[in-house]
Amino acid sequence: MNGSKTLYEHEGKEAVYTFTILPPWRRTILAYIGYVLFFIGFVYTVVTVYTRGLRAIIRERTAEIREQKDEIEEK
């Protein structure tokens, strides 16, 4: 045995420690769930903002077409 010995040639007991190394917080299940939720929220926000812009353009163009229609009907 390769343990330590005292002055009187008595071998000491071997110390054994067990431990677990946990992953960093950014690689845990909760972090991955957060990443997915953030991505979904980001995509939803981008789509919503883009859609609002398109709706504004559609309203503007529709108003122009209605004005042109009214002008043609008056003539």
**Could you list the pLDDT tens digit for every one of the 75 residues in the chain?**
456 777 787 887 788 899 999 999 999 999 999 999 999 999 999 999 999 999 999 999 999 999 999 999 988
Rounded to an integer, what distance in angstroms lies between the CA atom of residue 67 and that of residue 20?
74
Distance of CA 74 to the CA centre of its chain: 57
36: which 2 tokens? 């997915």
Please give the model's pTM, rounded to 2 decimal places: 0.61
Residue pair 1/11 in contact by the 8 Å Cβ criterion: yes
Residue 73: CA count within 13 A, CB half-sphere: 6
Which residues does 12 contact at the CB level (< 8 Å), separation at least 6? 3, 4, 5, 6
Record the tokens describing residue 23, joined without a space. 């992953």
